[in-house]
Amino acid sequence: MKKILLLSIFLLSALFTESWAQERTISGTVTSAEDGSTMPGVNVVLKGTTNGTITDIDGNYKLSVPSEGGILSFSFVGLTTQEIEIGARSVIDLAMTADVQQLSEVVVTALGIEKEARSIGYGIDVIDGDQLLEARESNIVNAMQGKVTGVTISNTSGNLGSSSKVIIRGVTSLRGNNAPLWIVDGIPINDAQTPTGSRISGVRDFANGASVINPDDVETINVLKGAAATALYGSRAAAGAIVVTTKKGERGKNGKAQVSINSTVRFDDLLTIPDYQQQYAMGDAFKYDSSSVGFDWGPRIVGQTVNLPVTGESGPLTAIEDNGVNDFFERGVSLINNVSVSDATDKSNYRLSITSLNQDGVIPGQELDRLTLGLNTGMQHSDKLRSSFGIQYIKTKSVGTAAAGANDPNIIGLGSFSSTLDQNNFKPWIDASGNQINQTTPTSNNPYWIRNENRNDRNWDRYLGNFEVQYTPIEKLNILGRLGYDYEIDNRFFSNRKGTAQRLEGNFTVDGIRRSQINFDGIANYSTDLSEDFGLSILAGYNYNKRLFTRETLFGNELAVPQLFDPGNVNQTVSSRNFSERILMGAYGQAELSYKNWATLSLTARNDWSSTLPLENNSYFYPSASAAVVFTDALGISNNILSFGKIRASYAQVGNDADPYQLDFRFFPVSTASGQYGLNVNFPFNGQLAFAKANTIPNNNLLPEQQKSYEFGLDLQFLDGRIGLDVAYFKSQNINQIADLPIPQSTGFNFRTTNVGQVDTKGFELTLDAKVLEMGDFSWNSIVNFSQVESTVVELAEGVERLLIASAFNSVQVVAVPGEEFQLFGIPYLRDSVTNEILIDPNTGRRLAGEAKTFGSVLPDFTMGFVNNFSYKGLNVSFTIDWRSGGIMKSSTVEGLQNGGLAEETTLNREGTFIDKGGVILNADGSIRENDVPLRNSRDFWTALNDGSIAEPWIFDASFVKLREVAVSYTLPSKFFDNSFINSFQIGIEGRNLALLYSKVPHIDPESNLFGSGADGFGIERSNIPSTRGIGFNVRVKF
Amino acid sequence: MKNSLKTYLLSFVFLLSAFSCDDVLDVNTDPLAATSADPNVVLPYVIVQYSNRKQTELGTRTSDVPQYMSSNFNSPKTGSTTSFLTGNTWRMMYVDVLGNLALVEADAKEAGATSNNVAAIAIVLKALIYYELTSIWEDVPFTQAINGQEFPSPTFDSQETVLNGVAALLDEANTLIAEIPAEGVFDVSGGDLIYQGDMTKWEKLSNSLKLRVLMMIRNKDTSVDSQITALLSKPLIENSGDIAMLTYSGQAGAENAFQTIVSAFFGSDNESTGVHAPGPVFYDLIVNNNDPREQLFIYDPGNVGPPSIGQFSFGSFAHFSNNVIRGSLPDIFFTAAEVNFYKAELALKGVGTSNTQTEYENGVRNILTFWGQDIPGAITTLTGGEIDAYVASLPDLSLLTNADALTRVHEQQYLEAFLNPILGWNTVRRTGVPTMDPVPGTAISTYLKRFTYPPNEIAANPNTPANLPTDRPMWFE
């Protein structure tokens, strides 16, 4: 039937041939079937000829065709190629549909090279910019949570502007080089995080560098996983790369400039608050003590008349709901507003975007304001020359960042709330003369004083610029030059007002950080068809990268005039400087051979020269190879069940350099002679300067680090693309790691820098996406991503049993131990060697401390994300569930809540003697007996649990399931706006971190982490600002 | 095909490598660091870092072990020495002090005789540190220490070896001092924060320190008596002008840690906060004997007496006066009285030719003169008459039994070592005087006798011996 029809058309056209035997012009507009937008760049070819054109910026085309009919072929990467009989028409408009079957999705690979996903031999995940806008986050990193396979994202706390850590496919480095490289529009940007202070003396966690990327400006994020994917980026991307492409100018659907406005208001509250006990008052030994903050071992609360805390007034003792946590913590408010203007012609385009983010944190006195200005523009100068540039300026100003760690009076943790302490009584906190008032004791601070009078400011200016020129001297040859610059001025200011308990005379710290990075890539690319079936693409490039870091700090102590922060106004000033410079040069090449659009072999090579390595060893070469075969095409498989299948494999080797200045023995000028409790003295001392040797033995024979990895993957699509499955297995071996190895201090040094150890990773990733249901206007899409990574420390160095990765408090550390993943290391209970029962001291009835040991891996066993999207006409509902399983953590907050008798579980058997049934007593003959030594009461049990720095009772399984994101949006039908200037109007409700669905850690959010993104600390929590849950409302309008 | 591609690629790489010039990459020299350093800047680091870490770590945390104080924060007196206390002290001594001193000494020796003074200072300080190391941990790396090239995992030497080795080091220092040329001597007056380059005083300190060490050895092995006798005729520290100490100006950033722990955490001064208070044993020895040090040391307007061991005063009991706990309190390494009392002790034991009573009285006079008159920054002073009167009131030791006379001397030795955390602890362990009060809630059978080895050394050095119980006496006791 069909044949007959075709034949008759053929005959018909043949009949008319003579009468139409001259050239004619055909024109039309190509649109996207998905959203109706016009499609520039679509190939329109008269089938069987080389006669063709591409659609212009408005989707229009015009083509001269012979008068005798013919067939027009419309093709565009990622869309179904359509062939249309011209017939007698002079106008052919076409709506193109996505080609799910072909999987010809475009991904951005290393160096910003766009490729069809079907030709890629390694793992890449793509996040569409719109996904980041469903529930907007102030740190873009968090918005990726649960959406990318094989990527673990963790943020540290509920602090505004806190840092977030990204680990792609597990940890591979023993020295903290586990963060991916961030690339924005082809330019590497700094993602480093520099905290001020130390965990020992109090630390401020500030956002990581990549947090400035504005979700409203993001077109796509491509996550490059594995060394083969990043090989052309060289050593800096050994831990993966996150390639961000920002939005470029485009014309609106109505052929005019496009203006879009996106406004969000969001409210944040604490996600979890501890289960505080409300039966017993502040104090000890059942005696009430109004100054006993965070230590609620006082009498049962029965309304007895006492002198109330803070005010000292007589009144009935009552429990304050939730210990006043909700009185002290406030509702955070965020306003996110974005306006963008974009337009394009066939010669030029531009997009201007302005975003303001204004946030009030949950902790009093905390604010963050960020202004982002972005301009992208490009120009087609001639057929052969094209240039573009983009600049972004991001100004972030934050005040009142909360302190974490220890030994800092500014730390406010969940353990500072007591059952009978009304937080409202702390107001006011200052009198007319500037003195602190309403304290519980003269040596403790009013929390509102801390929050309102002591400053924790950051003023951060970031400039990102890129300039790109593309020249096509001859067909098939493309030469590209790309220059990028990333500069930041990060000024921080901290002060303790005169009168702050523990810092009575007042002090201030000015911390000025400058960072710059200049990057140049010159790339030449030549693509040609070797034959009808073989295509070859050759690329060669050169890279220059220079990074500078400067830091100047000034500490002023003991102010004469309060609140005058000038070095002339203090009794003591201590200043310090820090500087580092590093240069990396690379030459690279790639050859890609393709066969019949179903097989691709790609080979790359790169050689780097690094300034941080010894001159004779500063060059290192590494190759990679990857291959992809679309076997369904190769084998001609074509059926409804398996509609697409691709197998991929890759192998890569990557090198890495050292940090600057690790080669020469050095003496440093010293400004501080450190002491316990931060009681330091300073140089010049009695007029004398001081220099000290480095405490790490340098190594001028350092070799580059080396990573070898391979990956296999399978892409399958079933039922005409309704179900997609992507599976990957990868393995990497990381050797010659440059690490500071601890050596006996009795040698006179702490460490020696050397090439040591081996860390292996292997893992498995699976992404399953399905169009679960499509009924009329209703559709339900579901994506499940699963990844399981095992990073094993294979060996350290001879005689080294473990290597410190990060250190916390009370002997709790994260360590590398051969044969294991990164381990939590701490002091356990002493246990009987035969029965493994906890041993009780027969003299005291308390548990005994054992020798420090490893407790288990701090890294998750697997992570899983579950993303669902329902849509019906203009209504869209989506939610993301994030599951992390395995890994352990130690919580100091829970420790404090239990030690202090604040937690609900401490009310059990509180009155009367208490025998700890959790342990046994070792008899003299080596046998054990049930514990029979009574404690005075349960207080003696809970307060003694951490005797001898025991960590064991507060080590928990950190697994959790979170409802990470829910977004509901409704796009108003366009007919509403037919006669107005509005093109589209969307309203939405969004929620972030809505619920902790499963957790084994009591009282706190198991995701909390003491370490910011700058350290490889995992699994240790202490005095963090509790994490938050946010609900927001969003309006998006396009003109 | 693959091979030709590779060749193609490689040639591209090599072509581009022409751009990579070593000059461009030669930026790996830290502009904020030096490759060598003058002893006049390294010695201040060593001395001040030692003093401040010692005062904060041992002074403010362990003064209640020999019970000079009633209670200290994070004290190990109940038998548990934390990893911070042990780790920070160990690191300071080996890495910060001995590690830098070794470089100073090596540079000075290479420079020849004109730098003998610098080498001698480095060696005397080194001897002091090893003496303290073995006093804290007993067996410590000595013969193989600070030589990572040859001994990456130093073995631990017995206390006997270390103490004898320290004595030998001090002999070496004296030889170097004796061979200092008359002219062209390196000027170390700036960096020497203890004696401003005065080598006659360094010689006295060297001899006196050797006496202290030999007294410790003598407790176990009297064969050193001949060495002691020879030493007594050599120059020793004999008056306040010879005293080895580090002065603190008391300005912000140059305050003694006994004061900064008060001002950082509690309030402006010790009298108003009562953070540091005397232990009953120390208090009684002073107050019950009408010792004028009462008016110098004790603040007790209500006359309530001292807190008991393990208890803080915080204003409820007698505590130390602002004359003691102040930013300008010097860190005292060695006083003249210590020598006097060794001489008195030796005379009672029949060693040497000193007169017991003379040395006993001179010792008391010297220590009172120092605390009451000569100490920098004193707030309260004693008149010469007050000192004379107290010296005159001292018992005639010749009328007492030898044992009682020794106890009187040992009591003075104990009082003399006040605020010198290791010497004070050693004095109690060496002499057994005074008797320590029982420590409430202690986990050990007696007072603390030793620290455990720090976790870092245990982890990195397989030669670290197993930890002994912290009440196990040391070799010298």
Residue B252 lies in a domain: no
The shortest C-alpha distance from A612 to chain B (Å) reads 6
Decide if pLDDT at A44 tops 90: no
DSSP characters over A588-657: EEEEEEEETTTEEEEEEEEEEEETTS-GGG-EEEEEEEEEEEEHHHHTT---SSEEEEEEEEEEEEEEE-
Decide if pLDDT at A673 tops 60: yes
Say if B57 is an interface residue toward chain A (CB within 8 Å).
yes
Overall average pLDDT of the A418-423 stretch: 94
For the record, the structure tokens of B43 come out as 């010695």
Q: What is the pLDDT of residue B89?
A: 95
Cα→Cα distances B63→A872, B78, B317, B322, B375, Å: 76, 13, 18, 17, 21
Residue B188 lies in a domain: yes
- Determine which of A317-331, A737-751, B111-125 has the lowest per-residue pLDDT on average: A737-751
Question: Containing H/E element for A279?
Answer: none
The shortest C-alpha distance from B267 to chain A (Å) reads 7
Angstrom distance (rounded) from CA A397 to CA A493:
11
Q: Which CATH superfamily is domain A140-249+259-270+332-410+454-663+698-822+858-887+958-1038 in?
A: TonB-dependent receptor, beta-barrel domain (2.40.170.20)
Q: What is the pLDDT of residue A1015?
A: 64
Residue B194 lies in a domain: yes
Cα→Cα distances B234→A949, A962, B205, B237, Å: 50, 78, 11, 10
Pair B99, B232 in one domain: yes
The shortest C-alpha distance from B444 to chain A (Å) reads 11
Confidence of residue A948 (pLDDT cuts 50, 70, 90): confident
**Do residues B20 and A587 touch, judged by C-beta distance below 8 A?**
yes
Overall average pLDDT of the A403-426 stretch: 88
Q: Where in chain A is the domain with CATH 2.60.40.1120?
A: 2-96
Confidence of residue A804 (pLDDT cuts 50, 70, 90): confident
β-strands A164-168, A853-857 pairing: unpaired
Overall average pLDDT of the A942-957 stretch: 87
**B265: chain A residues, CB-CB within 8 Å:** 443, 502, 677
Pair B288, B224 in one domain: no
Say if A982 is an interface residue toward chain B (CB within 8 Å).
no
Of A18, A404, A489, A406, the residue nearest A205 (C-alpha) = A404
Pair B171, B279 in one domain: no
Residue B12 lies in a domain: no
Residue B316 lies in a domain: yes
**Do residues B134 and B460 touch, judged by C-beta distance below 8 A?**
no
β-strands A241-246, A24-32 pairing: unpaired
Angstrom distance (rounded) from CA A949 to CA B344:
46
Question: Containing H/E element for B407?
Answer: helix B402-416
Decide if pLDDT at A919 tops 60: yes
> From the CB of residue A579, how many other CB atoms can be counted at a distance below 10 Å?
16
Say if A738 is an interface residue toward chain B (CB within 8 Å).
no
Cα→Cα distances A37→A60, A127, A972, B83, Å: 12, 21, 17, 67
pLDDT in tens, A136-151: 777 888 888 877 888 8
User: b or e along B174-191 (b: 16 or more beta carbons within 10 Å of the residue's beta carbon)?
Assistant: bebbeebeeeebbebebb
- Determine which of A65-69, A338-342, A918-922, B470-474 has the lowest per-residue pLDDT on average: A65-69
> From the CB of residue B35, how many other CB atoms can be counted at a distance below 10 Å?
10
Cβ A746–B34 below 8 Å, yes or no? no
Q: Tell which of A676, A695, A813, A950 to mutate to test the B interface (max B CBs under 10 Å).
A: A676
Pair B231, B276 in one domain: no
pLDDT in tens, B141-172: 999 999 988 999 999 999 999 999 999 999 99
CA B193 to chain centre: 15
Say if A981 is an interface residue toward chain B (CB within 8 Å).
no
Instruction: Give the DSSP letter of residue A676.
Output: G
Instruction: Give the DSSP letter of residue A940.
Output: H
pLDDT in tens, A879-907: 999 999 999 999 989 999 999 999 999 99
Q: What is the pLDDT of residue B2?
A: 44
Q: What is the pLDDT of residue A10?
A: 42
How much is the CA Rg of chain A, to the nearest whole Å?
Answer: 32
Q: B47: domain range?
A: 40-236+448-460
Overall average pLDDT of the A45-56 stretch: 80
Q: What is the pLDDT of residue A14?
A: 40
Say if B2 is an interface residue toward chain A (CB within 8 Å).
yes
For the record, the structure tokens of A591 come out as 């050859």
Confidence of residue B21 (pLDDT cuts 50, 70, 90): low
Q: What is the pLDDT of residue A98?
A: 65
Strand partners, A729: A712, A764
Longest dimension (CA), chain B: 108
Pair B73, B216 in one domain: yes
Angstrom distance (rounded) from CA B446 to CA B439:
8
**B17: chain A residues, CB-CB within 8 Å:** 587, 607, 609, 619
The shortest C-alpha distance from A689 to chain B (Å) reads 6
Q: What is the pLDDT of residue A543?
A: 94
Overall average pLDDT of the A366-372 stretch: 95
Q: Which residue has the higher pLDDT, A735 or A136?
A: A735
Overall average pLDDT of the A153-176 stretch: 81
- Determine which of A759-768, A779-788, B16-25, B404-413 has the lowest per-residue pLDDT on average: B16-25
Q: Which residue has the higher pLDDT, A721 or A351?
A: A351
Decide if pLDDT at A7 tops 80: no
Of A466, A468, A465, the residue nearest A379 (C-alpha) = A468
* Stretch 542-601 of chain A: residues touching chain B, C-beta under 8 Å: 542, 557-558, 570-572, 574, 577-583, 585, 587-591, 593
pLDDT in tens, A197-227: 776 667 788 888 888 899 899 999 999 988 8
Residue where one domain finishes, among candidates B320, B338, B372: B320
Q: What is the pLDDT of residue A801?
A: 79
CA B215 to chain centre: 16
Residue B32 lies in a domain: no
Residue B112 lies in a domain: yes
Decide if pLDDT at A20 tops 50: no
Place of tokens 């061991």: B309
Of B139, B452, B447, B56, the residue nearest A948 (C-alpha) = B452
The count of structural domains within chain B is: 2
Residues whose CB falls within 8 Å of the CB of residue A349, separated by 6 or more in sequence, listed in order? A57, A248, A249, A250, A342, A343, A376, A377, A378
Say if B257 is an interface residue toward chain A (CB within 8 Å).
yes
Decide if pLDDT at A509 tops 50: yes
Angstrom distance (rounded) from CA B324 to CA B57:
18
Q: Could you tell me how many residues make up chain B? A: 477
Per mean pLDDT, which of A125-134, A509-518, A631-640 is the most reliable?
A509-518
Angstrom distance (rounded) from CA A460 to CA A211:
12
From the list B28, B91, B247, the residue facing A611 with the nearest CB is: B28
pLDDT in tens, B222-271: 999 999 999 999 999 999 999 999 999 998 889 999 999 998 888 889 99
Q: What is the pLDDT of residue B205?
A: 98
Residue type, A681: V
Pair B232, B172 in one domain: yes
pLDDT averaged over every residue in chain B: 92
pLDDT in tens, A980-993: 778 888 999 989 88
ipTM: 0.92
For the record, the structure tokens of A266 come out as 């969001």
Overall average pLDDT of the A662-678 stretch: 88
Q: What is the pLDDT of residue A88?
A: 80
pLDDT averaged over every residue in chain A: 87
- Determine which of A443-452, A598-607, B73-82 has the lowest per-residue pLDDT on average: B73-82
Instruction: Give the DSSP letter of residue A141.
Output: H
**Do residues A901 and A296 touch, judged by C-beta distance below 8 A?**
yes
**Do residues A383 and A242 touch, judged by C-beta distance below 8 A?**
no
Pair B182, B78 in one domain: yes
Overall average pLDDT of the A636-664 stretch: 88
What is the domain class of A2-96 according to CATH? Answer: mainly beta
* Stretch 939-968 of chain A: residues touching chain B, C-beta under 8 Å: 948-949
Confidence of residue A353 (pLDDT cuts 50, 70, 90): very high
Pair B230, B270 in one domain: no
Place of tokens 């009919």: A69
For the record, the structure tokens of A35 come out as 């959203």
β-strands A1028-1038, A984-999 pairing: antiparallel
CATH of residue B121's domain is 1.25.40.390
Cβ B13–A621 below 8 Å, yes or no? yes
Angstrom distance (rounded) from CA A804 to CA A806:
6
Q: Which residue has the higher pLDDT, B374 or A1016?
A: B374
Q: Tell which of A498, A585, A745 to mutate to test the B interface (max B CBs under 10 Å).
A: A745
Q: What is the pLDDT of residue A349?
A: 92
Q: What is the pLDDT of residue A41?
A: 76
pLDDT in tens, B287-309: 999 999 999 999 999 999 999 99
Residue B431 lies in a domain: no
Cβ B45–A683 below 8 Å, yes or no? yes
Say if A685 is an interface residue toward chain B (CB within 8 Å).
yes
Decide if pLDDT at A810 tops 70: no
Confidence of residue A1012 (pLDDT cuts 50, 70, 90): low
Overall average pLDDT of the B363-381 stretch: 96
